Structure 1
Amino acid sequence: MTTTASTRRQFLTLLGLSAAAVSCGTSASGASGGGRTRTLRYQGWAGQVILPELAEDLGYLEDVKLEWIGNTISGPQDIQSAATGQTDFGGAFNGAVVKLAANRTPIKAVISYYGSDKDAYNGYYVLADSPIRSARDLAGKKVGMNTLGAHAEAMLDIYLQRGGLSEADIDKVEPLVVPPVNTEQSLRQKQIDVAVLGGILRDKALATGGIRPLFTDFELLGAFSAGSYVMTDRFLRQNPDTARTFVTAVGRAIEWSRTTPRDEVVARMTEIVKRRGRNEDTAPLRYWRSYGVAETAGRITGKELQLWIDWLSERGDIRRGQVSLADLYTNDFNRAGQAGAAKPASPVPAASKSGS
């Protein structure tokens, strides 16, 4: 498939419009009839342990339970599910969060959950003998990524723009959707020219050898929080205590993962994946390094969202002033690190809990 700058803009537009069209008619609460709930429906990622799952296993969610309804490979799809009430929270790259809010979808970013640092980053990899050395070499080339209109495509656009490419040349670069578990293989079989790889999939591919980085998002922008979990305004109004428990637990899990020896974190994640019985490969977990969240306990500063407000405005995807930064996020539910908010995590993997 060929993707031009125009179709990228159309994708982002459809992202916002589709969610906005249905968000008013569907309950965003996990309880039937819009009542209060202590159960949070969510989507996971195959072979990975997301922060809420880690928080539940550590006991930080207390009496709040997670209900897994399936997996996703797309942040934009995940937050659309939250906006339409199919799930109670979802996470995506901050540009997708901004776009959703720009179309009057009543959501709030409540905590950062992933980002880029020296250990956790997305790299754009080519084969070791590839002639591609710079942005200008990408015209007419295929770049494989997990989804369009999200973090990976935004980083590619910034790289191409900084490389001095004209709009016409940028239009010649072809972002393609490739399932993350197949991206490395697609590169090695030369079905794509560049593979976007992050986390355990990146480190596993690097350990195999034969590839080299063209650039990384960490090199491009430095350390930054890249994505946020969102909840609807309705859910936050109806379930403030549940939201507070959830957000605080995720913040505590972020800090636990920073301060705990890496081998212990990996061992715990491995046990979580084994216990949930979804026929997943645990081997890639040994490559885990960091969630990459920049701020303490995932608190949102605003700058990680303003970056994408500016980027989308420059592209013409949203109008200037269409999104109010102050209305886009809140830290009010994040009590991680405050007095009385923390209890010690169990020193060994906890018993399996519902939905994790």
Structure 2
Amino acid sequence: MSSSDQTFRGTRRPLRALVGAAALIAVLAGTAGCGSSQASTDGRDGGTVTLRIPDPGNEGVLARGKKDGSLDTALSTVGARVAWTGSAGPFAPAAQAINANQLDVALGSITSAVGALATSPGFTLFAAAQPDPVGEGILVRADSPIRGVADLAGRKVAVNQGGTGEYLLLRALATAGVPADRVQRVYLRPDQSAPAFDSGQVDAWASWSTYVVSALAGGARMLVDGRTLGSDNATVWAVRSAFAREHPEVVRALYTYLHDSSVAYRQNPEPYVNVFTDAGPQSVNGRAKEITLDFARQGSPVEPIGPDLLRRFDAVAQFFVDAGVTKQKVDVGAHVLDVATLPGSRP
């Protein structure tokens, strides 16, 4: 990466308009077959409601649900089916795809959701899981002289803007009493962050389990994890707001499936790893598989978004305002659906 690339940004400098475009294309790439011939604007294909979800890849409850057909079976009870579109990735481009009516459901974090709600509130949050205590954090290379958060002063740290990475870094600095402007935030997409980190163009990388696993397996060191820095970055599930209004019974059925499957996943994660293949770039093996299974066992099941989570979401939104990440405080509660209130739900 040349010095003229200008990808490396200082604190609160604007993100380039093109950042995120490639990720958005990845999300939308598989949606060409989901136009009017497959699903109308109200999500119906004839008499069946079509629920568009990013393809889950090779790991997790949705991957298993895709392989064994159990998700379609669960949705069929309310007259719905899944259309797998594009591929799972960061939440920001998925939120754009939801707003463009190219996607109905996406998985992210409350920090990324707050960042997206600040500019594009076309989705509703309907479920969450407790913050990942060990799978998110700040990484440094194995030979790095950085031994504590205070050592980040004067360094470059890769983060995704307005999401998990930026939140984790700012939270760590606040906890350690390091002024935020003493550290250069380098705004990169996760797929850009890995090569920048590996090549030494940044000194540290704040990220989450999707990317942390491979970094740790490759020899990186976790400087501080979510539990240590007191992260309250819950995982959240989002649904296109118009879809939720038109098909609440489908959202309810999806929630029930996610809840039950996430309980089983935590108890015995092995069947949810390498679901389709145990070879090739999508698979995890050796040390990476050990880390993945360990993270899964320490995770939490999907649950409704009740008053306690709402209060904590509000605190995250306030943190982002205080840190200057968002200009105004996002009213997260205005974009939350309590699945416990849906008729027939079983949260």
The answer to whether structure 1 residue 195 and structure 2 residue 219 are counterparts is no
2:189 corresponds, among 166, 174, 177, to 177
Q: Deviation per CA, 1:310-355, whole angstroms, max 9, x where unpaired?
A: 11221342434x51x43221222688x976x8xxxxxxxxxxxxxx
Aligned-pair identity in percent equals 18
Equivalence map 1:235-274=2 (5 Å): 235-259=243-267, 261=268, 265-270=269-274, 272-274=275-277
Cα pair 2:130 2:300 within 8 Å, conserved: no
Q: RMSD of the TM alignment (CA)?
A: 3.8
Cα pair 1:199 1:287 within 8 Å, conserved: no
Change (3 A) 1:102 1:121: same
| 1:190 match: secondary structure | coil
1:151 corresponds, among 138, 153, 164, to 164
Structure 2 unaligned regions, length at least 5: 1-6, 25-34
| 2:223 match: secondary structure | strand
Cross-structure match for 1:288: 292
The answer to whether structure 1 residue 131 and structure 2 residue 133 are counterparts is no
Higher relative contact order (CA 8 A, sep 6+): 1
Q: What TM-score results when the alignment is normalised by the length of structure 1? A: 0.71
Change (3 A) 1:233 1:221: same
Separation in 1, partners of 2:282, 2:340: 33
Separation in 1, partners of 2:148, 2:290: 32
Aligned pairs, number: 309
2:221 corresponds, among 202, 209, 212, to 212
Cα pair 1:236 1:243 within 8 Å, conserved: yes
Instruction: State the shift of 1:86 in Å.
Output: 0.9
Structure 1 unaligned regions, length at least 5: 19-26, 342-356
Separation in 2, partners of 1:10, 1:319: 21
Q: 1:193 corresponds to which letter in structure 2? A: D
Q: 1:177 corresponds to which letter in structure 2? A: R
Q: Deviation per CA, 1:43-90, whole angstroms, max 9, x where unpaired?
A: 2455x4243333454725422433222224321111221232111111
Instruction: State the shift of 1:110 in Å.
Output: 0.6
Cross-structure match for 2:87: 71
Separation in 1, partners of 2:333, 2:229: 26
Separation in 1, partners of 2:186, 2:272: 39
Q: 1:332 corresponds to which letter in structure 2? A: V
Q: 1:4 corresponds to which letter in structure 2? A: G
Cα pair 2:156 2:185 within 8 Å, conserved: yes
Cross-structure match for 1:4: 10
Instruction: State the shift of 1:243 in Å.
Output: 1.4
Separation in 1, partners of 2:113, 2:263: 24
Separation in 2, partners of 1:291, 1:203: 11
Cα pair 2:125 2:336 within 8 Å, conserved: yes
| 1:78 match: secondary structure | helix
Separation in 1, partners of 2:272, 2:209: 17
Separation in 2, partners of 1:208, 1:2: 24
Of 72-81 and 147-156, more deviation after overlay is shown by 72-81
Q: 1:274 corresponds to which letter in structure 2? A: T
Cross-structure match for 1:168: 181
Separation in 1, partners of 2:146, 2:132: 24
Q: What TM-score results when the alignment is normalised by the length of structure 2? A: 0.73
The answer to whether structure 1 residue 41 and structure 2 residue 48 are counterparts is no
Separation in 1, partners of 2:118, 2:209: 30
